[in-house]
Structure 1
């Protein structure tokens, strides 16, 4: 993080009209180890899974909050190893399909 290097590890899609909030994540261990051979893969995996759980809204500090509140909480800037990138607005009639499309385009290993 100190060197400004990053790996896309997931995508979050929020669609207010459809009450949809979902994250799809993966941990590409070889890419992580290319940046830091001593990286804590278990800790990173748990941190990424927390994003998926927060989107579901059933556990953790955002349990029971509206999808919009959870989305704003998830995308708020933090000074941690796992961070969200900038929010990009868009329109879709199929948020689940868009989640998969963006994940394949931006995250999935080649």
Structure 2
């Protein structure tokens, strides 16, 4: 039997209009320092986003670009500079810090898992889909 590893996860949220403080769960970031594991996935449901604006003024490409940048930073994919060049734990802490932008995260939540990929899928399906 595999040993259980401590992990932390945050829900990635799209906050289309920051001043209204309404959000849509669009992804998950899961991190385990012990396992040197970090995984991020997101999905942009355009139908859900339409309910947040009467005039449908959201730039979907801008949203996707912001989420893709978030994902690239989290996995360290970059030119090797800045935040993406930091260690896994530092990147997770930076990405889950409080901010008032279109892409935000929940507070980190801890857990134990013997299969981090399976736990990630479970969380993604429960909290995002």
TM over 0.5: same fold? Answer: yes
**Are 1:63 and 2:80 matched, yes or no?**
no
Residue in structure 2 matched with residue 40 of structure 1 by the alignment: 59
Residue in structure 2 matched with residue 10 of structure 1 by the alignment: 27
Is the 1:26–1:48 contact (alpha carbons within 8 Å) kept by the matching residues of 2? no
User: Is the helix fraction higher in 1 or 2?
Assistant: 1
Structure-2 separation of matches of 1:7 and 1:63: 25
- What stretches of structure 2 of length at least 5 have no aligned partner? 1-17
- What stretches of structure 1 of length at least 5 have no aligned partner? none
Count of residue pairs brought into register by the alignment: 108
Tell me the secondary structure at the aligned position of residue 8 of structure 1: strand
Q: TM-score, normalised by structure 1?
A: 0.91
Match of 2:114 among 69, 93, 97: 93
**Structure of higher CA gyration radius:** 2
**Are 1:82 and 2:99 matched, yes or no?**
no
User: Is the strand fraction higher in 1 or 2?
Assistant: 2
Question: 1 or 2 for the larger relative contact order (CA 8 Å, sep ≥6)?
Answer: 2
Tell me the secondary structure at the aligned position of residue 35 of structure 1: coil
RMSD between superposed Cα atoms in Å: 1.3
Q: TM-score, normalised by structure 2?
A: 0.78
